Structures are given as C-alpha cells and as structure tokens.
Amino acid sequence: MDSWWDLGEWSGSSGKNLTTHDIVCPFCDEKGNFSAAFHAEKKKAQSTKKLNFDTLKCENCASYVMVMWSSSSFGNVHEKVILPRSLKVQNYPKHWPDAVGRYWLQAKSNLARSHRLDGNAYSTTKISQSQ
Ligand SMILES: [Zn+2]
C-alpha cells in the first residue's frame, strides 16, 4: 500500500461499515465493547473514496482508541488501522502461514519475557565498550 487512500481496497473485513466486534481495548483487553465518541471523515477529490477517523470509547474502562478506516470503492469490504495497539502479542498477521506465525509468536513471547526479567525494554541490546 503506497497511499492511505488504498486502505480497504485490497483486503479487509466484510461489510462496508466499521465493525467493532473484533477490536480489543489495548488498556483492559475487553473485546468489542465500544461506543462512538467522535467521527470525522475526508473524501478524496473526484472520487467516492472516503477515509473515516473514529474515536471509540471503551465501555469497560472508559479509555479511548482511534480507528482510521475505509471501505473499498467497489466491494463490500472495509479495512481499519487502530491506535494504540495492544502491547500484548496474541496473534500473528492473518495472511501468514500457521507454521511461520507459531514460531514468530514464540519468539515475540520470549523477547517480551526477557525484557520483563531485565526490567528495561531497551536493555537487551547492550553495547560493550572495550577499554
Ligand atoms: Zn477498555
């Protein structure tokens, strides 16, 4: 994808409207329990293409997530980008083969565990200085 105007054109979830049932709150891990707090949109000139900017409020913990989303110009598909993302690593990208995804998840889990043991996320790449 070279432009945000391509969001939703090549892949996404079914339906031309934003679905929130699969969005997980990055603060409390509650899934799909959001209300709309703010909506803005920007239309592409001389096109039906539209980027939507929604702020959703988690009904469990009252935190907010921002969702930029767009439906495809010709189909019944939409794609979204969510910010902030959860800091927990629970899934690998949908388009990856299971065998690759399992190893990637295991590696990410091991890295997260070693960072927690260090108590510092940036301390795993220490540069030793010779004297
Ligand atoms: Zn929440």
32 or 125, greater pLDDT: 32
Expressed in angstroms and rounded, the spacing between residue 26 Cα and the centre of ligand 1 is: 7
Q: Is 126 contained in some domain?
A: no
pLDDT tier, 117 (very low <50, low <70, confident <90, very high otherwise): low
Residue pair 100/112 in contact (Cβ under 8 Å)? The answer is no
Give Cβ neighbours of residue 9 (< 8 Å, ≥ 6 apart).
72, 73
pLDDT for 85 equals 84
- Lowest mean pLDDT across 51-55, 77-81, 91-95: 91-95
Considering the domain architecture, whether residues 79 and 19 belong to the same structural domain is answered as yes
Considering the domain architecture, whether residues 23 and 48 belong to the same structural domain is answered as yes
Q: Which residues surround ligand 1, an ion (CB under 5 A)?
A: 25, 27-28, 30, 58, 60-61, 63
Q: What is the mean pLDDT of residues 37-65?
A: 96
Expressed in angstroms and rounded, the spacing between residue 40 Cα and the centre of ligand 1 is: 22
Q: Which domain holds residue 10?
A: 4-86
Rounded Cα distance, 124 and 89, in Å: 18
Expressed in angstroms and rounded, the spacing between residue 113 Cα and the centre of ligand 1 is: 24
